[in-house]
Amino acid sequence: MIEVGQRLPNATLTMMGPDGVQPVDLASRLKGRRVIIFGLPGAFTPTCSSAHLPSFMRTKPQFDAKGVDEIICLSVNDPHVMRAWGETSGGAAAGITFLADQAAEFTKAIGMEFTAPPAGFFDRSKRYSMFVEDGVVTIFNPEIEKGCAISGGENLLDQI
């Protein structure tokens, strides 16, 4: 599992752009920037939609005031689903970036994958949040129990 002080592995994630699916080189996106990444099991899922994402939508202005350059919501979904979730949830309008880790490559590289066949989840992301400065993890909050008390926006905001 990734730890505080470690550089994030490079990954190519995807997002929907004006001309369709576009690759996002994570290392380039993080270079010289202060970024929050929060990972979650899936777009449109109950806790992700009712608690985790909204916690970052609520706290976005306070993160901006603390000099955070971007808040990224990452899930093992395809970029079409992530765009639809961003639009319907209001997260995109609130300024959250929605990135897809389609094959769970980044999620596996940081040791945050899980599989739960009864729920239909295969190689999904565990719930977490992290504060990354110039590609290095400075705060890491993996969720231990159900819910998002540890990995939610308010907790991370208090830590920065």
Identify the bridge partners of residue 12 per DSSP, sorted by sequence position.
25
d(CA 47, CA 40) in angstroms, rounded, equals 9
The angle subtended at Cα 156 by Cα 124 and Cα 23, nearest 5°, is 45
Report pLDDT digits (tens) over 61-83.
999 999 999 999 999 999 999 99
pTM over 0.85: yes
Low-confidence ranges of the chain (pLDDT < 70): none
pLDDT of 118 reads 80
In whole angstroms, give the CA distance from residue 27 to residue 32. 10
Smallest Cα–Cα separation from 39: which of 5, 7, 79, 72?
72
The dotted CATH code for 12-159 is 3.40.30.10
pLDDT value, residue 88: 97
List residues with catalytic annotation. Answer: 48
Q: What is the predicted pLDDT for the residue at 97? A: 98
Domain ranges of the chain: 12-159
